[in-house]
Amino acid sequence: VAKARRKLRGLIAEKNCAPLMLRIAWHSAGTFDVATKTGGPFGTMRCPAELAHGANAGLDIAVRLLEPIKEQVPILSYADFYQLAGVVAVEITGGPEVPFHPGRQDKTEPPPEGRLPDATLGSDHLRQVFTAQMGLSDQDIVALS
């Protein structure tokens, strides 16, 4: 994990791509459905089917940037690696040090399209996705805002 952190710090600083790394981590995790226990950070963002989801436009760039580093740390799953990229992006932009716990399993089937919140659909939609689908509280929503 330490080697991956170092390499990710270098990549994010060199390419100035912290927002992109935060986005791939969020879009990976944001598909979780608490009712079905499906979706979430399982490394499926590397799959063409998930990259083709409308909300994921441009994340192919993140996947391409990350792949050379991922090849150097085969011990980490893609699921862990994409989340670690988000953790490092938070830290490198002056945010807090985020505890990281590896152990996520990779999957090959992406979640269905449409699980990420769509800000254009209004606050009722956002509340539905964050609370009913993801299982987050009002306090969580405020923290993410």
Distance, in Å, from the CA atom of 52 to the CA atom of 32, rounded to the nearest integer, reads 18
Distances, alpha carbon 101 to alpha carbons 12, 54, 81, 95, 98, in Å? 21, 30, 11, 18, 10
Closest C-alpha among 70, 134, 132 to residue 106: 70
Is residue 102 within 8 A of residue 76, CB to CB? The reply is yes
Active site amino acids: 27
Distance, in Å, from the CA atom of 89 to the CA atom of 128, rounded to the nearest integer, reads 28
